[in-house]
Structure 1
């Protein structure tokens, strides 16, 4: 059959047509961008109140939550910038555009969560060794305000999250804030009722552990994408075996590679060796349809080579 590439008339080897396109609809992208912006304004706006409240009341839980909110604000702004950059079209230098920046932002946000959790833990140990006075009443009112703001921000982000790692990382940051505010409320009530101040750093450490669990999930998934790992549910061995068994005209499938630009943009390439007499265009279309049917992946590049016996 001779050597050929997956270039059908009017196409360039992809099931999306002649140009590299964004898989997420523009309105959905704008919705996610707006959600990030709203969450950033809410978080940044209340952060100053928590800093003042934490310093005046002497509460580590409030200061830890304020520090978390500061990093969250920076992370939310970074996530928002990632969406803005992703609007830029692909060019000869960056053929996939700037979509991958959102994954990088998610990875950086995950690392930031680790740093925050470490800082909270160190401060908590120092407070346990050297307890200080905490004004439970002031701490309670500031924490209640923080909880309300964080619930609103988390609600906005959770509605827009979907499968986007960038929004998910931002939502986890806000969830960490929400848990921090809740812990501060519990600690303030314990201090008001019993005067036992060690509850403040103890609950701060518990919140830090919850943050670490969420942070690791974001780092693992974003790191997997940055390392060009296969999308979830895509097994190259299974795909190759299925194509060889299910499609007439396919003698062998090899060089199967799959990766993701973002969670919403999985892609794959593969090479198909034809049986004698098989039509390259028919096989190419059948392979695309089969991969889409079995894996849900719409963007597949297929290279067709002639049969082994010529």
Structure 2
């Protein structure tokens, strides 16, 4: 059972690159390695459950042998139960953290807000950005939404294409929503355009 549950996911692609072969290949490789690393949470939980049952059975067997040969050592049973409960708690904490990260729409694991911001601001023609939001739709599907303010003479479509390509290649975002707008000085003082405070 444990061997069946520990298999990796097959890769999946529809070829959304629309002629950008290099981007699709790099993102597919990184995305599939990310999926293999994170896997399906339900399968991971089932795998840990199976392993936990195996350890619990071994613990009960060891405690039974100790009690059978030394009836005075009945304390072996609660000691084995205590160690098993510590093992179960330790092994489920990572799964719980991943599940809560998705449920609370937290920043995806391994993504840094400031790194994404720096990459967006490094794109030619981008003067500012605001309303940057990163969250995990699922463990394997990080999502981004952002407003990019560009210079008046910059081509919005070129900036949009470059931003989309760089975000998908560097950070393996599953979905990106980018709104391009012309920069105005008012954005610098706008309270809604500021970065979130910790």
TM superposition score category, shorter chain reference: 0.7 to 0.9
Moved more, 171-180 or 183-192: 183-192
Relative contact order (alpha carbons < 8 A, sep ≥ 6): 1 or 2 greater? 1
Counterpart residue number, 1:300: 176
Q: How many Å separate the matches in 2 of 1:305 and 1:270?
A: 11
Cα RMSD (Å): 1.7
* Structure 2 unmatched ranges of 5 or more: 10-35, 186-198
From the two aligned structures, give the one with the greater helix fraction. Answer: 1
Q: Does 1:159 align with 2:36?
A: no
CA contact (8 A) 2:126 2:159 kept: yes
Q: Does 1:262 align with 2:110?
A: no
Residue 7 of structure 2 aligns to a residue whose secondary structure is helix
Q: How many Å separate the matches in 2 of 1:305 and 1:217?
A: 40
| Structure 1 runs of 4+ with >3 Å offset | none
- Report how far residue 189 of structure 1 moved: 2.4
Counterpart residue number, 1:273: 149
Give the TM-score taking structure 1 as reference length. Answer: 0.48
- Report how far residue 193 of structure 1 moved: 3.2
Q: How many Å separate the matches in 1 of 2:88 and 2:128?
A: 47
- Report how far residue 277 of structure 1 moved: 0.8
Q: How many Å separate the matches in 2 of 1:243 and 1:167?
A: 36
> Which residue among 58, 75, 84 is the counterpart of 1:207?
84
Residue 173 of structure 1 aligns to a residue whose secondary structure is helix
CA contact (8 A) 1:240 1:254 kept: no
What aligned pairs does 1:35-184 form with structure 2 within 5 A after superposition? Answer: 153-160=1-8, 162=36, 163-184=39-60
Q: Does 1:240 align with 2:117?
A: yes
From the two aligned structures, give the one with the greater strand fraction. Answer: 2
Residue 94 of structure 2 aligns to a residue whose secondary structure is helix
What aligned pairs does 1:280-295 form with structure 2 within 5 A after superposition? Answer: 280-295=156-171
* Structure 1 unmatched ranges of 5 or more: 1-152
